[in-house]
């Protein structure tokens, strides 16, 4: 692999693995509101947010950081207008204070916010915000990715337009990846060029440790960590992987004001791609270089798989993220490329089809399921045990297996996705 190709892959990882505070869907909406308010020149009197179905689904039931446990889009939108700063990107609400929350509650009570489903778009990730203040108006559109502004206008005058912001168009410029290329990069790139990935471990570890010291969401991570009565899991690496990973998710989904390192627009994906690998490396006294390479292998695998899926899909993102961590774990266990590919096949054979029913506190259960499967898949892989092409959707070609999983997520589960949203909005 030459220097130019390595540089393009590093650029891709740095673009996709970024800090975020709170769930990325409501934060992306708050980001659009913040930008529209800036264009308008002040806090809007009225805000209309029109969102794609997948954006609505993922933003309805999650906690908003700094609000003391408030959930959902209205508070995120109000805070985006009052204290949001678009320069902070997905940390748009990091200046939230108790005083700002009180202002936002008042803003919401005055019926200034309208939230609609945008039905005439094929984008799964689409946000259109229209803000009014007297005779002045501003319109901002984010689509394709959580932070890409495709349209900005004030009083009907277009200030910015970018019709190439879809995930598909980004991919045209990205390096063409295969699982073998991902493995080659992770295991041969100069360590100093990929050392930056350790920040993911530091951020996500901090979120987990904060969660283990308090009560957030369903406190699944803390329950596993403490195990006051049952001692089901013992005190080994497996229980620590489950507790740390689900604890970080507990905190994030409950709206804790703590940054995590996301992957492909999802904090939970970043958590699940990072913490199982970090825990295993720490417990097995692996070197910093080994941890660095395992983390890059995990995160880049997630990025590669998500290139087939797009940002949002009916398939739970923890399936993809845990597949990445299975690769990192297998390599740390001494696995070679073939055994890493076995871990991917074992993952796809097991938890493909887990539905996404929005971001919410119980996502920690799904994350725990995903990383538990990652451990089992890796253990089998290093023993050269793999689900064969005679079984289900598994193909001899591991990259074809990934495409099969993506096709199920994109095409096979569309009706499921519609039904899930109908159930969620009909309650």
Calculate mean pLDDT across residues 156-173: 66
Whole-number average pLDDT of the chain: 92
Q: What DSSP string describes 223-260?
A: HHHH--S--SSTTSHHHHHHHHHHHHHHHHHHT-S-EE
The answer to whether residues 64 and 93 touch, using CB atoms and an 8 Å cutoff, is: yes
The answer to whether residues 361 and 60 touch, using CB atoms and an 8 Å cutoff, is: no
Calculate mean pLDDT across residues 373-387: 98
Task: Note the pLDDT of residue 228.
Answer: 67
For residue 256, pLDDT beyond 80: yes
Task: Note the pLDDT of residue 151.
Answer: 94
Could you give the residue range(s) of every CATH 1.10.4100.10 domain in the chain? 175-425
Task: Note the pLDDT of residue 164.
Answer: 59
How do the residues of the chain divide into helix, strand and coil, expressed in percent and rounded to 5? 60, 10, 30
List pLDDT tens digits, range 274-303. Answer: 999 999 999 999 999 999 999 999 999 999
CA dist 195 to 13, 14, 65, 322, 372, Å?
A: 12, 11, 29, 22, 27
For residue 332, pLDDT beyond 70: yes
Residue ranges with strand state E in 54-106 = none
List pLDDT tens digits, range 73-128. Answer: 999 999 999 999 999 998 899 899 999 999 999 999 999 999 999 888 888 899 99
| Structure token pair of residue 136 | 């002045």
List pLDDT tens digits, range 210-240. Answer: 999 999 999 999 999 987 666 787 789 999 9
For residue 260, pLDDT beyond 90: yes
Of the candidates 48, 312, 338, the residue with the CA atom closest to the CA atom of residue 179: 338
CA pair distance 23, 376, nearest whole angstrom: 28
Task: Note the pLDDT of residue 29.
Answer: 96
The answer to whether residues 153 and 139 touch, using CB atoms and an 8 Å cutoff, is: yes
For residue 168, pLDDT beyond 70: no
Could you give the residue range(s) of every CATH 3.30.1330 domain in the chain? 19-167
CA pair distance 324, 327, nearest whole angstrom: 5
The answer to whether residues 280 and 205 touch, using CB atoms and an 8 Å cutoff, is: no
Q: What class is the 19-167 domain?
A: alpha beta
Calculate mean pLDDT across residues 188-214: 96
Architecture per CATH, 175-425 = Orthogonal Bundle (1.10)
Question: Which residues is 139 bridged to in the sheet?
Answer: 130, 153
| Structure token pair of residue 195 | 């050392």
- Helices then strands, counting H and E runs in the chain, come out as 18, 8
């Amino acid at each position: 692999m030459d220097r130019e190709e390595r540089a393009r892959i590093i650029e891709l990882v740095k673009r996709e693995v970024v800090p975020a505070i709170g769930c990325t869907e409501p934060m992306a909406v708050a980001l659009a509101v913040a930008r529209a308010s800036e264009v308008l020149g002040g806090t809007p009197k009225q805000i209309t947010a029109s969102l794609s179905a997948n954006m609505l689904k993922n933003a309805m039931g999650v906690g908003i950081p700094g609000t003391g446990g408030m959930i959902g889009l209205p508070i995120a939108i109000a805070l985006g207008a009052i204290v949001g700063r678009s320069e902070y990107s997905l940390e748009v609400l990091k200046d939230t204070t108790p005083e700002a929350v009180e202002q936002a509650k008042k803003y919401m009570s005055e019926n200034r916010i309208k939230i609609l489903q945008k039905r005439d778009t094929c984008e799964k990730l689409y946000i259109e915000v229209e803000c009014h203040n007297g005779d002045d108006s501003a319109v901002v559109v984010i689509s394709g990715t959580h932070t890409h502004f495709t349209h900005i206008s004030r009083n009907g005058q277009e200030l910015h337009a970018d019709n190439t912001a879809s995930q598909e168009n980004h991919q045209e410029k990205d390096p063409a990846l295969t699982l073998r290329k991902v493995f080659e990069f992770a295991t041969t790139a100069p360590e100093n060029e990929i050392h930056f990935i350790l920040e993911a471990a530091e951020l996500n570890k901090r979120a987990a440790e904060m969660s283990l010291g308090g009560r957030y969401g369903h406190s699944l991570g803390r329950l596993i960590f403490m195990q006051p009565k049952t001692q089901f899991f013992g005190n080994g690496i497996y229980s620590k992987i489950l507790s740390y990973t689900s604890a970080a998710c507990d905190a994030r989904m409950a709206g804790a004001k703590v940054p995590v390192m996301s992957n492909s627009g999802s904090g939970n994906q970043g958590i699940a791609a990072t913490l199982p690998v970090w825990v295993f490396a720490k417990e097995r006294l692996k070197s910093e270089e080994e941890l660095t390479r395992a983390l890059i292998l995990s995160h880049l695998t997630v990025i590669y798989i998500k290139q087939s899926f797009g940002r949002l899909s009916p398939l739970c993102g923890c399936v993809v993220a845990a597949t990445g961590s299975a690769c990192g774990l297998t390599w740390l266990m001494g696995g070679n490329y073939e055994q890493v590919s076995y871990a991917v096949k074992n993952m796809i054979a097991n938890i493909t089809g887990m539905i996404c029913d929005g971001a919410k506190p119980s996502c920690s259960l799904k994350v725990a399921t995903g990383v538990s499967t990652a451990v089992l898949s890796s253990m089998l892989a290093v023993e050269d045990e793999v689900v064969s092409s005679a079984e289900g959707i598994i193909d001899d070609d591991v990259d074809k297996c990934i495409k099969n999983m993506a096709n199920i997520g994109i095409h096979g589960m569309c009706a499921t996705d519609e039904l899930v949203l109908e159930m969620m909005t009909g309650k």
